[in-house]
């Protein structure tokens, strides 16, 4: 068995691409517009997984954008994605500067949660050992749900 991808339905493809690519740093591997089915699939990979994603079609995040508006309640758009990051504080600062709420701040220097434009929970985990606690993160309270 081989893990291939996780599919996430998105309401606004442009807004989601900004979040996943410009802010989180994923890269588009390929995209497919399906005229007959009226949807677009965009496959994304983390930088360190990019070559493997191109070679093996894995591991990736698949953004599914349905051209006709739909409501994604009842868990139809998924639970959470997890990414290992080089510097959790730097990434959280970048996300926050760009208007992303840090729902669970990296108080412990190890783990944080944010949400995508579609409300998908994104877990960020520090690569290697946890970083030493530092402000403003160490004393920041949770915001909303994660």
Question: What domains can be seen in the chain, in order of their start residue?
Answer: 5-66 (3.10.180.10), 80-139 (3.10.180.10)
Global pTM?
0.79
For 118, residues 6+ apart whose C-beta sits below 8 A from its C-beta are: 8, 9, 10, 11, 12, 16, 72, 77
- Which of the residues are catalytic? 123
How far, in whole angstroms, is CA 59 from its chain's centroid?
A: 13
Q: Tokens 């990296």 identify what position? A: 106
Query: Of the given ranges (54-58, 117-121, 132-136), which has the lowest mean pLDDT?
Result: 117-121
Q: Quick check: 40 pLDDT over 90?
A: yes
Q: Quick check: 51 pLDDT over 90?
A: yes
Tell me: is residue 123 an annotated ligand-binding position: yes
pLDDT confidence of residue 52: 95
Distance, CA of 1 to CA of 18 (rounded, Å):
32
Distance, CA of 142 to CA of 5 (rounded, Å):
29
Tell me: is residue 110 an annotated ligand-binding position: no
């Amino acid at each position: 068995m081989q893990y291939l991808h996780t599919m996430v339905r998105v309401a606004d493809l442009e807004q989601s691409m900004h979040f996943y690519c410009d802010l989180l740093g994923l890269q588009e591997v390929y995209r497919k517009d399906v005229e007959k089915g009226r949807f677009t699939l965009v496959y994304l990979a983390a930088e360190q997984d990019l070559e493997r994603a191109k070679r093996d079609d894995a591991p990736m995040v698949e953004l599914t954008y349905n051209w006709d508006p739909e409501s994604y309640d009842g868990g139809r758009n998924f639970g959470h994605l997890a990414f290992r990051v080089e510097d959790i504080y730097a990434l959280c600062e970048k996300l926050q500067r760009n208007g992303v709420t840090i729902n669970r701040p990296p108080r412990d220097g190890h783990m944080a949660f944010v949400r995508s434009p579609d409300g998908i929970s994104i877990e960020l985990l520090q690569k290697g050992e946890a970083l030493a606690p530092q402000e403003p993160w160490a004393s920041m309270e949770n915001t909303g749900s994660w």
